[in-house]
Amino acid sequence: MSSAKRKKTARRSPARSAQRIAALAGGVGASKLLFGLYAECDPEKLEIIVNTGDDIVMHGLRISPDLDIVTYTLAGVVDAAKGWGFRGETFRTLERLRAYGRENWFNLGDLDLATHLHRSALLAEGKTLGEAAESIRLALGVQSRILPMSNQPVPTIIESSEGPLHFQEYLVKRRAEPVVRGIHFENVEIAAPAPGVLEAIRGARRIIICPSNPLISIGPILAVRGVREELQARKKDVIAVCPIVGGKSLKGPSDRMLAQLGYEASARGVARLYADFTGIFVIDGEDKSQAEAIRALGMDVAVMPTVMKTPAQKRRLARALLAL
Amino acid sequence: MSSAKRKKTARRSPARSAQRIAALAGGVGASKLLFGLYAECDPEKLEIIVNTGDDIVMHGLRISPDLDIVTYTLAGVVDAAKGWGFRGETFRTLERLRAYGRENWFNLGDLDLATHLHRSALLAEGKTLGEAAESIRLALGVQSRILPMSNQPVPTIIESSEGPLHFQEYLVKRRAEPVVRGIHFENVEIAAPAPGVLEAIRGARRIIICPSNPLISIGPILAVRGVREELQARKKDVIAVCPIVGGKSLKGPSDRMLAQLGYEASARGVARLYADFTGIFVIDGEDKSQAEAIRALGMDVAVMPTVMKTPAQKRRLARALLAL
């Protein structure tokens, strides 16, 4: 048997097809781990459920920042330094939009705009957000399915010291400066999980909660009808990677938001939020003193390096998770 | 009295304020003359009524090619070689739209896209096309009012040898190759002239019909309720510049379209289409042999150089028209 044939057989074997992995993801933080997972497992067996709570409409365009960050990362076109947007991006349209007096606090690159135009046009033609995401990831050659948590808009609203703000207004326009007093996911009561979301959780060997903000990246996904219950049913196979190391967020304002809302900005604080559906909680060596307290919440704890700065670190963490 | 003061007084004098000029315009051909008029008369007294029959929706964006050509020309930002679009334009978004499998036969530059996004967003917010045009011309520093013929969409449909085609499909996608069997302006029966259109014709000292395609640039404007009647009422003050010289269009497929629809592709052929509302028909010296026949249609004829290749030629024709 030739090596090519053997390879083909191997890919089709029941053992391989049982290796499905589901991941719950926000944007930049999650994409570091997803980069590693994409490299370390069969990408066609990886299904990624992405937060769409920070989606926003700007200049009439439907923008899905987390879907795009994940897609661009796996397509290898992302601006690695920023973690979002296209590499080599330009902002010519945005400069002219500003000249027309339009808001320009939200970065819209010229290449990125094509994604938003394409998605908006598909939605206007009656396609779903999931179908748009599928079209975009296929065009960019991404082999893993990328699913929005829901096809319905569920905007994350930050109840802040400056009044209610759309999450992007809070994060980008106001640079996470207002004090957070509450968070709600508008219309989440009437939003259904996108087709494939519950099936991905149900059919996966492992479900990985990426190191994203637990409140505004993973939180909205968990709030979608049926998702949390489906995870609870798979508790022993759910692996959550803690986004807080040494009391600080790996990325973004998670630590500040947790503290402002009265949660503990620590690995244990995140563990409490995930305890009902997580089988293995993954913390960095720096937080190993909290392992006992986290185990007491009813989870196994795995301690390993979770800070990912290099591609090698991303792949190493992915490999370690897949071996758990 | 200082020269500056004298100038200010002159601009405010009743004699000047009576010098209002209205112009009916298509795109590239008309803009040559408008460039001259803008330079030769008080631009604040110039009101331009623009064809919107070739407006199209692409990728969900509302595109008004003739409004944009006129605006960019008078703003001094137009690509002079092409006659449309921004000077120094790039097409990065369009290239990515093509990668997403979207139609890309219609040129959409990165700077130009900002105009379409701004207009589309304003329309989505409930503004009219006229209000969008006003916002765009003011942002670009154009001193003359630029009015769409109507705030309602009136798409020009070409009944062709290949079936019905939107005018842009006929012109750009199919490069004016199909044989034209008929033209209709969809929904023109229910379209109202945009606010200011009839007033501009009524209040102007002179109304200039720019050298545009009589069938698909001036034709749609004339088809809007009340416009033709208003022009007929001002017949002696209406000056039409013939877009056909020596049997050929100065720009675009006018000659071919006229012939295919059974009209004469000549100055006289155009004159027949305009005879009911035109006081002075302006032809090039090359066509002076047709002057007698055109006069017989009930119009005065003025013979002067109408081919405009240089800024000086554009200004000279404008000056000559204003002196009639």
For B87-124, the pLDDT digits (tens) are 999 999 999 999 999 988 999 999 999 999 999 999 99
Total count of residues recorded for chain B: 324
**Closest Cα in chain B, distance from residue A94 (Å):** 7
The pLDDT score that the predictor gives to residue A7 is 43
Statement: the pTM of the whole predicted model exceeds 0.80 = yes
User: Under an 8 A CB cutoff, do A100 and B60 touch?
Assistant: no
A121 interface with B at CB cutoff 8 Å: yes
B323 interface with A at CB cutoff 8 Å: no
Q: Which of A56, A59, A68, A93 best tests the B interface by mutation, with the highest count of B CBs <10 A? A: A93
Max Cα distance, chain A (Å): 68
**What is the interface size between A and B, counted as CB pairs within 8 Å?**
87
User: Under an 8 A CB cutoff, do A117 and B90 touch?
Assistant: no
The pLDDT score that the predictor gives to residue A207 is 98
> For the residues B224-235, what does the mean pLDDT come to?
98
Query: How far apart (Å, rounded) are the C-alpha atoms in residues A159 and B229?
Result: 59
> For the residues B216-226, what does the mean pLDDT come to?
97
User: Under an 8 A CB cutoff, do A115 and B101 touch?
Assistant: no
% of chain B residues with pLDDT over 70: 94
User: Under an 8 A CB cutoff, do A96 and B111 touch?
Assistant: yes
User: Under an 8 A CB cutoff, do A110 and B110 touch?
Assistant: yes
The pLDDT score that the predictor gives to residue A251 is 78
The pLDDT score that the predictor gives to residue B247 is 92
The pLDDT score that the predictor gives to residue B18 is 56
Report angle CA B102, A115, A157 to the nearest 5 degrees.
140
Q: Compare all CA atoms of chain B with the CA of A98 and give the residue at the minimum distance.
A: B114
Grade residue B250 by pLDDT with cuts at 50, 70 and 90: confident
Q: Which of B90, B111, B118 sits opposite A102 (nearest CB)?
A: B118
Residues of chain A positioned with their CB less than 8 A from the CB of B95? 114
**Closest Cα in chain B, distance from residue A11 (Å):** 29
> For the residues B154-161, what does the mean pLDDT come to?
95
Helix/strand/coil for A187 = coil
User: Residues B32, B25: contact at Cβ < 8 Å?
Assistant: no
Helix, strand and coil content of chain A, in percent to the nearest 5, comes to 45, 20, 35
Instruction: List, run by run, the mean pLDDT of 10-residue segments along chain A (324 residues).
Output: 42 53 97 98 97 96 97 97 95 96 92 98 97 98 98 96 93 91 94 98 97 96 98 98 93 89 95 98 97 97 97 97 95
User: Residues B136, B36: contact at Cβ < 8 Å?
Assistant: no
Instruction: Tell me the domains of chain B and their CATH numbers.
Output: 20-84+128-323 (3.40.50.10680)
DSSP B247-289: TEESSTTHHHHHHHTT--SSHHHHHHHHTTT-SEEEE-GGGGG
Total count of residues recorded for chain A: 324
Please identify among residues 151-210 of chain A the ones whose CB lies closer than 8 Å to any CB of chain B: none
Contacts of A277 (CB under 8 A, 6+ apart): A222, A228, A231, A232, A234, A235, A238
Note the pLDDT tens digit of each residue in B34-93: 999 999 999 999 999 999 999 999 999 999 999 999 999 999 999 999 999 999 999 999
B117 interface with A at CB cutoff 8 Å: yes
B5: pLDDT strictly greater than 80: no
The pLDDT score that the predictor gives to residue A244 is 96
User: Under an 8 A CB cutoff, do A101 and B139 touch?
Assistant: yes
Where helices occur in chain B by DSSP H, the ranges are 3-12, 14-17, 28-40, 65-75, 92-99, 110-124, 129-139, 167-168, 197-203, 219-223, 227-233, 254-260, 267-274, 291-295, 311-323
Q: Which of B113, B115, B125, B135 best tests the A interface by mutation, with the highest count of A CBs <10 A? A: B113
User: Under an 8 A CB cutoff, do B93 and A94 touch?
Assistant: no
Q: Which of B58, B61, B96, B97 best tests the A interface by mutation, with the highest count of A CBs <10 A? A: B96
Query: How far apart (Å, rounded) are the C-alpha atoms in residues B106 and B218?
Result: 22
Where helices occur in chain A by DSSP H, the ranges are 3-12, 14-17, 28-40, 65-75, 92-99, 110-124, 129-139, 167-168, 197-203, 218-223, 227-233, 254-260, 267-274, 291-295, 311-322
Q: Could you give the C-alpha distances from B91 to A270, B60, B70, B157, in angstroms and in order? A: 46, 18, 21, 28
The pLDDT score that the predictor gives to residue A16 is 43
**Closest Cα in chain A, distance from residue B62 (Å):** 11
Sign of torsion, CA A296 A300 A305 A308?
negative
Backbone φ and ψ of B214, nearest 5°: -65, -25
Residues of chain A positioned with their CB less than 8 A from the CB of B101? 135, 139
B3: pLDDT strictly greater than 80: no
Query: How far apart (Å, rounded) are the C-alpha atoms in residues B230 and B207?
Result: 11
User: Under an 8 A CB cutoff, do B100 and A90 touch?
Assistant: no
